[in-house]
Chain A
Amino acid sequence: MLLWLQKYRPRTISEIVGNTNAVNQFADWISKRLKNDVKKAALLYGPPGVGKSLTVQVYAEQFGFDLIELNASDVRAKEQLMRIAGTAASQLTIFGGAKRIVFLDEIDGINPAEDKGCIPAIIDIINKSNCPVVLAANDPWDPKLRPIRDLCVLIRYNKIRSPTIVKFLKEICRKEGIVVEDRALTLIAEKADGDLRSAITDLQVLTEGRRYLRFEDVVWLPTRNRQYGVFDVLKELFWSKTALQARLVMEKSLIDHETLKLWIHENLPLVYSDLSDLVRAYDMLSKADVFFGRMNRTQNWDLLPYALEFMTAGIVLGVKKKPEFVKYQFPQKLLLISSTKNSRKIRDEILLALSEKCKLSRRKALTEIFPYLKVIIEENPSTSRHIGEWLNLNEDHLKYLGLKTSKLKKPNIKIPDLDRY
């Protein structure tokens, strides 16, 4: 059986259904890339089944590129990545006229813990490459992709609109000689939820062995469990009209509650420009967080539904002004926590030393002693040696406490004052 996906696959990029902008943007970027005046890599992102890989493959065929393709979530990906990093990308094509595109698909499937070195290898490929490097991902905002993201032109693929899908399915049916109810196609398209690939597959499965398709034949078609990206989740959440819709957003995503809570927290003030709406929304998020706190302490997970309802329906219903259209932001708290890891460790070591010497908790050492210690060292740096010996501190600790010069060793180097607080 010939898969319709293959049979009706576009031959040129202009035949690609939907996402015309993204496809044009991609073609544009490649032609500029060959003249070397843009970023070396492009990251195509968006939900599954909307034509990201297809664009790259069709483009390569149409314009005669060698496609070096690799699925990054493949188990053997690491090895292959390393090999590509070493060779293909940096080699000038020897045979006249042969052009190459390196295509790394599903890079959000990389598991940084298991596939150590994959991300650096990709960065290496991008940096060394003489030919265009194209990456694809469903969720480009995954923190682990951040270093890669910064090197790339981002090209966004959207879900394909239902009427567009219906139109394409109708065309297939016409060519296949299948009689079909419009309602049936609409239902397939709705269930596909913007994913043309799955819609085509569904249509083929449903019409297999028959020449007609009615609405009733489609009703049983199960909905796929969509792994909503966090942006889709937020968008659907903030624009929900009913409590149930808001609540169901959670079900559709694989994002854990804690993470979603941080995303909502980050974006509330962007979405709600009216302060009384913001207060209302924060009241609900804060109440949800109280439930989370109680659950953490008591392990009483029966509370979870209420927490989630506060966090979703509670927030979005009852606002006076419509939410703003904004670009959702990554939770800054997570970035701050990772970027301050070292300085916080140093701070905590000082506090531990203080708490032992001064016989109080670290928390009190921070509020009662620490500020004065800093002033003493700042006002009279010569005391720092004595303080350092007494508390058994090293130079990093003293720097953290505001000592400007490191013990006469490197008198000319100015120490940045970033970690003062």
Chain B
Amino acid sequence: MISMALEALWTEKYRPRKLDEMINQKEIVERLKQFAKTKAMPHCLFTGPPGTGKTTAALCLANEIFEGELAGNFLELNASDERGINVVREDIKNFARTISIGKVPFKILVLDEADNMTSDAQQALRRTMERYSETCRFILICNYSSKIIEPIQSRTAIFRFQPLNPEDVIKYLKYICSRENVDYSEDGLNAIIEVSEGDMRKAINILQAAAATGFVNEKSVYRVVGKAEPKEVLEMIKLAWNGKFIEARSKLRELLINYGLSGVDVLRQLHREIMKTSSLPITEEDKVKIADIIGEVSYRVVEGADDEIQLSYLLANIALLGSKSQR
């Protein structure tokens, strides 16, 4: 199963293959190792922020339980891809209902980004989990366990993954640097820690991007981070705030159509920019007002049909607040 082609992205190249290689999450790793040892496990729910090792842990666990006999016994699906939950549901059923191959006691199905499933889809999943629990164990992975319906939570062992601690991330980054012959400075690595906030995937991505410039230091790190973060969102807010609604809406279209972001992702980035931005004279009071509207709009984006219309409503509000504050 494991691809022999050399991984071009370090996040994949340096993804741990064994539970022992995992960074942090000590208690979780200990318990998972028990599962591997006894070759027995319940349905699991892995929850925690991005880049903390949830998917990696699931892969390592399956690898160790199956001792390499992954083919046919292991399936990884992503719940949030647009090919539709119905397809996913069919795939799950087809996989779960047949008996495992070889000496393995059960199959493992990993369902990533499960918090993006509607509660109806989760209900259906719950029935599948119950029905085929003899032949198949489920590992559900999500960022927010609160978005998983209670009946599923009660049927799974829940593992909460914590953001990684800075020292361990630095240690791992240094290890990668030595393997890849990357020149770095301490302040460069510290900058990565600062920006990545305990997200290992982000940390390694930034490291690789900074390394591509030739040297990892504070300057190159901030440069690549600046480049990687889409500036369009901030530009869009600025245009709206300054009353240029039509131009702001064009930027929105770029983000949604050309760039391909979902409405929810645009909203999330917009929220982050509003809260942190110092490049706009938005008062704290106005920030709260905007946050209020963002909350309403994120509900409407989920319920509505056209993200662009929903977010245009938000931009119109920002434009109105901007015009009032500048009066």
- Taking Cβ atoms with an 8 Å cutoff, the residues of A that contact B are 261, 265, 268-270, 275-276, 278-279, 282-283, 285-287, 289-290, 292-294, 296, 332-333, 336-337, 340, 343-344, 347-348, 351, 355, 357-364, 366-369, 371-380, 383, 386-387, 389-391, 419, 421
Asked whether B205 lies within 8 Å of A286 as measured between CB atoms, the reply is no
Asked whether B228 lies within 8 Å of A371 as measured between CB atoms, the reply is yes
- The one of A282, A344, A373, A377 that contacts B260, using a Cβ cutoff of 8 Å: A344
Task: Indicate if B69 sits at the interface (CB-CB under 8 A).
Answer: no
- Give the residue name and chain of the B residue nearest to A280 (CB): B316
Chain B residues 198-227 with CB under 8 Å of chain A are 201-202, 205-206, 208-209, 212-214, 224, 227
Asked whether B113 lies within 8 Å of A275 as measured between CB atoms, the reply is no
Give the total number of A-B pairs whose CB atoms are below 8 A apart. 178
Chain A residues whose CB sits within 8 angstroms of the CB of B262 once the complex forms: 363
Given A360-B112, A376-B208, A383-B212, the answer on whether A282 and B254 have CB atoms closer than 8 Å is no
B contact residues, total (Cβ < 8 Å): 65
Chain B residues whose CB sits within 8 angstroms of the CB of A347 once the complex forms: 260
Task: Provide 15 A-B residue pairs closer than 8 Å at the C-beta atoms, listed in order of the A residue.
Answer: A265-B308, A279-B313, A279-B319, A282-B312, A286-B310, A286-B312, A333-B253, A336-B253, A337-B257, A340-B258, A343-B258, A359-B112, A369-B201, A376-B209, A383-B212
Task: Indicate if B5 sits at the interface (CB-CB under 8 A).
Answer: yes
Asked whether A375 lies within 8 Å of B227 as measured between CB atoms, the reply is yes
* A312 CB to nearest chain B CB (Å): 15
Asked whether A269 lies within 8 Å of B113 as measured between CB atoms, the reply is no
Chain B residues whose CB sits within 8 angstroms of the CB of A282 once the complex forms: 309, 312-313, 316
Asked whether A369 lies within 8 Å of B205 as measured between CB atoms, the reply is yes
Given A332-B253, A380-B213, the answer on whether A375 and B113 have CB atoms closer than 8 Å is no
Q: How far is the CA of A293 from the CA of B302 in the complex (A)?
A: 8
Main secondary structure of the interface of B (DSSP, over half): helix
Q: How far is the CA of A397 from the CA of B174 in the complex (A)?
A: 32
Q: How far is the CA of A334 from the CA of B9 in the complex (A)?
A: 36
Chain B residues whose CB sits within 8 angstroms of the CB of A340 once the complex forms: 257-258
Most A C-beta atoms less than 10 A away, residue of B79, B201, B260, B261: B260
Asked whether B81 lies within 8 Å of A261 as measured between CB atoms, the reply is no
Asked whether A386 lies within 8 Å of B320 as measured between CB atoms, the reply is no
Task: Indicate if B59 sits at the interface (CB-CB under 8 A).
Answer: yes
Asked whether B229 lies within 8 Å of A290 as measured between CB atoms, the reply is no
Chain B residues 39-76 with CB under 8 Å of chain A are 50, 55, 59, 76
Asked whether B261 lies within 8 Å of A372 as measured between CB atoms, the reply is no
Given A380-B212, A421-B254, the answer on whether A369 and B11 have CB atoms closer than 8 Å is yes
Asked whether A375 lies within 8 Å of B209 as measured between CB atoms, the reply is yes
Task: Indicate if B2 sits at the interface (CB-CB under 8 A).
Answer: no
Task: Indicate if B304 sits at the interface (CB-CB under 8 A).
Answer: yes
Asked whether B76 lies within 8 Å of A363 as measured between CB atoms, the reply is no
Chain B residues 312-326 with CB under 8 Å of chain A are 312-313, 316-317, 319-320, 323
- The one of B202, B213, B309 that contacts A265, using a Cβ cutoff of 8 Å: B309
Asked whether B227 lies within 8 Å of A275 as measured between CB atoms, the reply is no
Q: How far is the CA of A363 from the CA of B79 in the complex (A)?
A: 11
Q: How far is the CA of A359 from the CA of B80 in the complex (A)?
A: 12
Asked whether B257 lies within 8 Å of A261 as measured between CB atoms, the reply is no
- Give the residue name and chain of the A residue nearest to B207 (CB): A372
Asked whether A363 lies within 8 Å of B265 as measured between CB atoms, the reply is yes
* A158 CB to nearest chain B CB (Å): 28
* A352 CB to nearest chain B CB (Å): 9
Asked whether B9 lies within 8 Å of A387 as measured between CB atoms, the reply is yes
Chain B residues 246-265 with CB under 8 Å of chain A are 246, 249-250, 253-255, 257-262, 265
